[in-house]
Amino acid sequence: MTQETFKRTTLILLGCGKMGSAMLKGWLTKGFDPKSIWVEDPHPSDWLIGTGVNVNLNLPPEPTFICIAIKPQMIPKILPKFSHYGNGLCVFLSIAAGVKISSFEALLGQKTPIIRAMPNTPAEIGLGITAQIANENVSKDAFEVAGKLLSAIGEVVSLNSEDQMDAVTGLSGSGPAYVFYLIDALAVAGHGQGLDKELAMKLAKMTVLGAGKLAASSSVVPSDLRVNVTSPNGTTEAGLNILMHNENGLGPLIEKTVAAATARSKELANG
């Protein structure tokens, strides 16, 4: 985001937990004027108070954005207090999981510009990925600015329809937990083959980190990267025979995993 965009943007952040803090840190790192940010949080941390943003102070009359970073179950209680900003130019940007745009329209007004976004936890280190979708009240320029705000915590993609958000939740939203479990499983397996626990864990962490960075930075698709390190009758092939050529292999298991998380996201979104 350019400095000129920063100067024109005023923002209210509702909630400053892990994800809210990650976004705020990213904005400040990229040069957002702390005096143009108002944070509403019932238990502000020392870090938050020390950032120089406006914490629990009188809110601006016409903010550009209101970012909703509170827990979904708190929205029906807290958001009506901000309904006077609805049906206007202020854009509501929500990262609350499972809360549909229609729910915000019911609380804030049908003409309210609303963007629904789904980041994931690597946002804490600026390596997240966020999917976003807007209602028809959001202008093209506002949608682009929202994308730049979200880019402070990682990559940003746009969806074709809100229905895709459940699959995003099942894949990238919940996905880090799957990877953490994989790291644990690799470390336990390595320990089972005679490695010290700490060494096995370090090997597992760095293997996943390195493989992820290689996949993200390479022009070669992951399936070809896999083939490139799989020698005929070698050790990698022996391991992949278990993962890929077994009725309980990794592919079908991951399909079931993402499908289950997606289904649960749909259930939560439908109340």
Torsion-angle region of 57 (φ positive above 0: left; ψ -120 to 50: alpha; else: beta): beta
CATH of 175-269, one of 3.30.2130.30, 1.10.3730.10, 3.60.130.10, 1.10.4080.10: 1.10.3730.10
Tell me the β-bridge partners of 66.
Answer: 12, 92
User: Domain extents for the chain?
Assistant: 3-160, 175-269
Residue type, 27: W
Tokens 């049908």 correspond to: 110
CA distances from 243 to 28, 130, 228 (A): 44, 29, 17
- Residues 239 and 185: beta-carbon distance below 8 Å: no
3-class secondary structure, 116: strand
Inter-residue long-range contacts of 52-55, CB under 8 Å, 24+ positions, other chains counted? 53/24, 53/28
Amino acid 1: pLDDT = 45
> Pairing state of beta strands 128-134 and 114-118?
antiparallel
- Angstrom distance (rounded) from CA 250 to CA 260: 15
Helix (H, G, I), strand (E, B) or coil at 136: coil
CA distance 113 to 93: 9
Residue 62 phi/psi, 5° resolution?
A: -135, 75
The Cα-based distances of 149 to 2, 126, 258 in angstroms read 11, 12, 28
Q: Which CATH number fits domain 3-160: 3.40.50.720, 3.40.50.1980, 3.90.1150.10, 3.10.580.10?
A: 3.40.50.720
State residue 234's pLDDT score: 95
Reduced to 3 states, what is the DSSP secondary structure of residue 183?
helix
Output the pTM of the full model: 0.89
CA pair distance 152, 1, nearest whole angstrom: 9
Looking at residue 67, what is its pLDDT? 98
Same fold, 3-160 and 175-269: no
In terms of DSSP H, where are the helices of the chain? Answer: 3-8, 18-29, 46-50, 75-78, 101-108, 140-150, 165-168, 175-192, 197-217, 222-228, 235-244, 250-269
Residue 6 confidence (pLDDT)? 53
Kindly give the parts of the chain with pLDDT less than 50.
1
> How far is Cα 82 from Cα 203, in angstroms, rounded to an integer?
49
The values of phi and psi at residue 181, to 5°, are -65, -40
| Residue 168: Cβ within 10 Å count | 23
Do 7 and 33 contact (CB within 8 A), yes or no?
yes
* pLDDT tens figures, 122-156: 999 999 999 999 999 999 999 999 999 999 999 99
Q: Is 96 exposed, middle or buried (0-12, 13-18, 19+ CB in 10 A)?
A: buried
